[in-house]
Amino acid sequence: MAVCGVLACNEERRAETEQPSVRPSAHPPVVLFFGTSLTAGFGLEPEESFPALIQQKLDSAGLAFRAVNAGVSGETSAAGLRRIDWLLAQPVAVLVLELGANDALRGQDLAAARANLQAIIDRTRAAHPEVRIVIAGMQAPPNLGSRYTAEFRQLFVDLARRNNAALIPFLLEGVAGDPELNQGDGIHPTPQGAKIMAENVWRVLEPILTP
């Protein structure tokens, strides 16, 4: 759907050097949510973001993981690559990678975006060989043309296959395009929309974490 492709048009952009408040700790292992304003929970209270909702699910399921929200508004794949090493000081067990939509928004070369995302995965695995990868699929707006939108959608599928990673087909499934589930900008989910996003993520994440 087109809504995710205009991700950064109306959002307040933070500097690409902004670092989330994450402190390395020995225990428990981390589920690192690495992404854009969708991950950060733009316009929501911290406890309403989908990573925070995943933490609630982890706790309810008795799974000893810590969900870390490393989302930054306006983040591109290149900016993510520049800051990933700092985040890998933690004992990362799972990387949930939600990047690429802002690359599409800016009409950037998809080969470069693919290379950046692959480099993020490679660096994560180099730091934590046993890490599991979850890739959040996104969609580009139709105004970028059918070829570009098809290649963008396929990018996430290809990354998942190449890296033996789990794939969330479309992070905003059931949310995109529904005015009742999005804030006034038509882009960022409401608290109810974030709950649906959390379900989309949990459907893929839970089997990975359950013994």
Q: Which of 37, 49, 73, 77 is catalytic?
A: 37
CA torsion sign, 192 to 198 to 200 to 206? Answer: negative
Active site residue 59: no
d(C-alpha 138, C-alpha 104), whole Å: 10
Q: Which of 59, 85, 158, 185 is catalytic?
A: 185
Residue 67: beta bridge partners?
31
Give the CA radius of gyration of the chain. Answer: 16
Neighbours of 139 (CB within 10 A): 22
Give which of 37, 33, 34 is closest to 13, Cα–Cα.
37
- Is 185 a residue of the active site? yes
Told to judge if 37 belongs to the known catalytic residues of this protein, a careful annotator would answer yes
Q: H/E element holding 93?
A: strand 92-98
**What are residue 153's DSSP bridge partners?**
none
- One-letter amino acid of 82: R
Of the candidates 49, 73, 103, 188, the residue annotated as catalytic is 188
With CA atoms as reference, report the closest residue to 134 among 48, 75, 201.
201
- Contact status, residue 48 vs residue 192, Cβ threshold 8 Å: no
Q: Are strands 92-98 and 66-71 parallel, antiparallel or unpaired?
A: unpaired
- Known catalytic residues are 37, 185, 188
